[in-house]
Amino acid sequence: MSDVVVMGAGMHPWGKWGRSFVAYGLHAARAALAEAGLEWRDVGYVAGADTIRNGYPGFVAGATFAQALGWTGARVSSSYAACASGAQALAAARAQILAGLCDVALVVGADAAPKGFFRPVGGDRPGDPDWLRFRLLGATNPLYFALYARRRMALYGATPDDFARVKVKNARHGLGNPNARYRKEVTAAEVAASPVVSDPLRLLDVCATSDGGAALVLASQEYARRRGTGAPVRIAAVSTVTPTFPKTVLDLPDFATDAAVAAPPPERPFRAALAHAAYEEAGIGPDDLSLAEVYDLSTALELDWYEDIGLCPAGAAETLLRSGATELGGRVPVNPSGGLASFGEAVPAQAIAQVCELTWQLRGTAGDRQVTGARTGIAVNQGLFGHGSAVIATR
């Protein structure tokens, strides 16, 4: 197959701006087009990542962004996959290019998130497991993150001090990112002194909700060559695999795991399977990585991701963190962007923003947060309902 390359990446800074998600996506799209040196009319396909919180236009995000940019007759799609929405939009755009249906595609995701906890969409929906987990269990997202943290403490001896180290690292990385919402160093003592949200996680262990937008301009390698783009960043793999039965680790909104009596557990749990499928497609392994962007919804979850993407064996994430290997200057910096710890969560934009960061890192244009000699990066996240993604970019 001919490669798909990234010609442009753009973002709207994360924060709480009080504007429509369309405005954030439009800003990001224009920035990505400008970086690519292309016009909106050059785009043959628009892939929008959806948000469920912003009314009917949020469900048809691809067409919403296309209308905001100006109708041109471009093909369009909209993807909703919770936190993996942006990666599914990217996968759809990549497929269109590989199929020869277009030369250039624009991928856009944006959100205007509520303050505080995410809550269920209004109305009574007793058949919706996400609605039920709020109404029956009172299981907000931070409670879910805390269950994972407790699991890690019970299985591997992780401590709140380890979780605080993750926040300290990511806050330091975020200092060099102009798109980050929080650009301030944090100490372990400040993490420990912040209010408990869901034991053992404190306020500074949990990511915020944010407004933000991100966009990518993808093109065929042949098109990029004709435009004079030299040594572009390539999308080497996109994995959106689903879990394998039996699913033996609890994932909300499910209330229980699958029964593992009649069938043995799969070779890899869900998050590890996402990364493994991407490695297989790209023909590389964890040892080839220069950096990783992982979905640190909480500090404890980042430690789980170290093991899921193969940076270390199960139970060794704390040792890897303490060694400095995942810091800038370390063996494989994780979240050099600052991660969700520095950005907060703008759900449909986040997976796209991760690939923006990979693009700038692999180009060597990431400024103060640059990973020296970056050649290969992975971006991973997990959404609800069996959604998740892993994207590998190389140069």
The residue-averaged pLDDT of 81-89 equals 95
How much is the pTM? 0.96
Pairing label, strands 201-202, 196-198: antiparallel
Q: Label residue 116 by pLDDT band (50, 70, 90).
A: confident
**Range in 44-53, 70-79, 147-156 with the lowest mean pLDDT:** 44-53
Summarised one tens digit per residue, pLDDT across range 329-378 is 999 999 999 999 999 999 999 999 999 999 999 999 999 999 999 999 99
pLDDT grade for 57, boundaries at 50, 70 and 90: low
How much is the pLDDT for 254? 85
Q: Out of 3.40.50.300, 3.20.20.10, 3.20.20.70, 3.40.47.10, which CATH number does the structure's domain 4-115+211-229 have?
A: 3.40.47.10
Asked which of 93-102, 260-269, 381-390 is least confident by mean pLDDT, the reply is 260-269
Note the pLDDT tens digit of each residue in 168-183: 999 999 999 999 999 9
Classified by CATH at the fold level, domain 142-207+235-394 comes out as Peroxisomal Thiolase; Chain A, domain 1 (3.40.47)
Q: What pLDDT, on the 0 to 100 scale, is given for residue 321?
A: 98
User: Secondary structure of the chain in the HEC alphabet?
Assistant: CCCEEEEEEEEEEEECCCCCHHHHHHHHHHHHHHHHCCCHHHCCEEEEECCCCCCHHHHCHHHHHHHHHCCCCCEEEEECECECHHHHHHHHHHHHHHCCCCCEEEEEEEEECCCCCCCCCCCCCCCCHHHHHHHCCCCCHHHHHHHHHHHHHHHHCCCHHHHHHHHHHHHHHHCCCCCCCCCCCCCHHHHHHCCEEECCEEHHHECCECEEEEEEEEEEHHHHHHCCCCCCEEEEEEECCCCCCCCCCCCCCCCCCCCCCCCCCCCCCHHHHHHHHHHHHHCCCHHHCCEEEECCCEHHHHHHHHHHCCCCCCCCHHHHHHCCCCCCCCCCCECCCCHHHHHCECHHHHHHHHHHHHHHHHHCCCHHHCCCCCCEEEEEEECCCCCEEEEEEEC
pLDDT of 128: 86
One fold for 4-115+211-229 and 142-207+235-394: yes
pLDDT at 230: 85
- Angstrom CA distances, 119 to 134, 135, 142, 332, stand at 7, 10, 12, 35
- Give the span between the Cα atoms of 292 and 160, in whole angstroms: 23
> Mean of the per-residue pLDDT values for the chain?
95
pLDDT band with cut points at 50, 70 and 90 for residue 127: confident
Output b/e per residue, 138-161; b: 16+ Cβ within 10 A: ebbbbbbbbbbbbebbeebebebe
Burial classification of residue 110, based on how many CB atoms lie within 10 Å of its CB (0-12 exposed, 13-18 middle, 19 or more buried): buried
Q: pLDDT tens, 187-239?
A: 999 999 999 999 999 999 999 999 999 999 999 999 999 999 888 999 999 99
pLDDT tens-digit map of 241-277? 999 999 988 888 888 888 878 789 999 999 999 999 9
Domains of the chain by residue range: 4-115+211-229, 142-207+235-394
Whether residue 1 has pLDDT greater than 60: no
Q: Residue 290 above 90 pLDDT? A: yes
φ, ψ of residue 391 in degrees (nearest 5): -125, 130
Confidence of residue 51 (pLDDT cuts 50, 70, 90): confident
Residue type at 171 in one-letter notation: A
